[in-house]
């Protein structure tokens, strides 16, 4: 059995109140500040971007810069870390897979994993919760109510939005300086006309000239946000709807502060399990998509549109930091048998309040409604033809 890992250099210890030195610190969601429970002093930490020196011009980026919190995960690193209390000298074991804080059993000082341990548990930055539990309950209740008619009867009976859970999700925040090249075909309409199809209907048709189209452009992307959890980046179960979390983006990443474990009090957190190289292809796709959308203003001559058939992204400079972002999450397990089960989620962006989710559907009711609607359309169509 493997014991606790030896303490790495500067893995943390005391997060002290700057006024009285107490380690009993909490985050006030109402004020958006850290508060000392002993002397009631209030303060906030520096914005992470400035603390890391990531506020320089993106267009000047060259090469790859990876922050300490986004460095490669040591797959063999133990989740169990030993901290030495700076108050009394005792050694305290912290299981970083479950918590990033512990209280010294001798002097009651609070110890935190505030530096970057190599298992992905500690990032560079954190976005504190802004949306309250009550606001999240209201948002989730409103989302479900709008879909109440077609919702599964058991879901309506068991729906308890007050059970929503606050969780910090791991992301990589990326600044990119790149060049994109895109090739495709564009169409210019030359003629539009109507032809008869069958005895009772007509069809509009188009003639168009087709052109080869190519574009090349420089692009800078500020704070591109990419999932760093394999489960949500495409490696999860097909029966889960956790991808709804991406629908509540973006986060106000400019307001992320330097990581402090005290911001996590009262919430759970998911640790990063993907490295920078694991997200490279996804980030390139996102940059290409952003670049081609910006190119639309140069394509107005092609009134029938442009279809891109190939392209490439050349990254000239990129920098990464790891961030925890807050989400309120409500889950519901739908089970109709061993091979018919779905885990539904409703997510609330705990910074902006944006809400999206999945609600279990009453399939027989939906099918009956579809049949009835189709019948009505057919009857109305028949009446029009009479």
Tell me, letter by letter, the H, E, C secondary structure of the chain.
Answer: CCCCECCCCCCCEECCCCCCCCCCEEEECCCCEEEECCCCCEECCCEHHHHCCCCCCHHHCCEEEECHHHCCCCCCCCCEEEEECCCCCCEEEEECCCCCEEECCCCCCEEECCCCCCCCCCCCEECCCCCCHHHHHHHHHHHHHCCCCCECHHHHHHCCHHHCEEEEEEEEEEEEEEEEEEEEEEEEEEEEEEEEECCCEEEEEEEEEEEEEEEEEEEEEEEEEEECCCHHHHHCCCCECHHHHHHHCCCCHHHCEECCHHHHCCCEECCCCCCHHHCHHHHHHHHHHHHHHHHHHHCCCCCCCEEEEEEEEEEEEEEEEEEEEEEEEEEEEEECCCCCEEEEEEEEECCCCCEEECCCECHHHHHHHHHHHHHHHHHHHHHHHC
Query: What pLDDT shows up at residue 314?
Result: 96
| Region of poorest pLDDT, from 3-12, 60-69, 295-304, 349-358 | 3-12
Q: Which residue has the higher pLDDT, 53 or 384?
A: 53
Token pair in block for residue 78? 């133990």
Instruction: Please tell me the pTM assigned to this model.
Output: 0.81
Q: How many CB atoms lie within 10 A of CB 350?
A: 29
pLDDT, tens digit, for every residue of 249-285?
A: 999 999 999 998 889 888 888 888 899 999 999 999 9
Q: Which residue has the higher pLDDT, 6 or 103?
A: 103
Highest mean pLDDT among 85-89, 226-230, 303-307, 355-359: 303-307
Q: Write down the domain spans for the chain.
A: 1-44+78-117, 65-70+120-385
- pLDDT of residue 190 exceeding 70, the answer is yes
Residue 384 — very low, low, confident or very high, per pLDDT cuts 50/70/90? low
Token pair in block for residue 313? 């992204």
**Contact of 44 with 34, CB cutoff 8 Å:** yes
């Amino acid at each position: 059995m493997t014991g606790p890992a030896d303490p790495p250099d500067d893995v943390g210890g005391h997060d002290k109140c700057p006024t009285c030195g107490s380690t009993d610190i909490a985050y006030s969601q109402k004020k958006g500040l850290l508060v000392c429970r002993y002397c009631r002093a209030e303060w906030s930490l520096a914005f992470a971007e400035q603390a890391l020196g990531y506020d320089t011009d993106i267009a000047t980026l060259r090469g790859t810069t990876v922050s300490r919190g986004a460095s490669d995960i040591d797959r063999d690193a133990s989740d169990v870390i030993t901290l030495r209390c700076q108050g009394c000298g005792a050694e305290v074991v912290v299981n970083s897979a479950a918590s990033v804080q512990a209280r010294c059993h001798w002097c009651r000082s609070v110890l935190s994993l505030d530096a970057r341990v190599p298992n992905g548990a500690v990032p560079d930055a954190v976005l504190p919760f802004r949306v309250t539990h009550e606001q999240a309950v209201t948002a989730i209740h409103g989302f479900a109510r709008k879909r109440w008619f077609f919702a599964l009867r058991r879901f309506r009976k068991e729906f308890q939005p007050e059970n929503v859970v606050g969780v910090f999700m791991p992301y990589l925040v990326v600044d990119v300086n790149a060049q994109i090249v895109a090739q495709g075909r564009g169409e210019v309409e030359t003629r539009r006309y109507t032809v008869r199809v069958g005895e009772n209907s007509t069809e509009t048709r188009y003639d168009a000239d087709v052109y080869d189209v190519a574009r090349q452009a420089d692009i800078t992307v500020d704070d591109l946000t990419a999932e760093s959890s394999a489960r949500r980046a495409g490696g999860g179960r097909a029966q889960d709807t956790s991808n709804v979390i991406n629908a509540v983006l973006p986060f106000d990443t400019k307001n992320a502060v330097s990581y402090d474990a005290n911001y996590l009090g009262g919430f759970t957190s998911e640790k990063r399990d993907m490295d920078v190289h694991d997200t490279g292809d996804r980030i390139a796709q996102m940059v290409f998509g952003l670049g081609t959308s910006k190119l639309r203003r140069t394509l107005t001559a092609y009134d029938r549109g442009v279809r891109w058939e190939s392209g490439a992204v050349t990254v000239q400079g990129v920098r990464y930091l790891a961030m925890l972002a807050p989400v309120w999450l409500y889950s519901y397990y739908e089970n109709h048998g061993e091979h018919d089960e779905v885990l539904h989620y409703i997510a609330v962006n705990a910074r902006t309040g944006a809400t999206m989710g999945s609600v279990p559907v009453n399939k027989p009711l939906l099918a009956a409604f579809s049949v009835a609607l189709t019948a009505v359309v057919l009857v109305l169509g028949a009446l029009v033809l009479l």
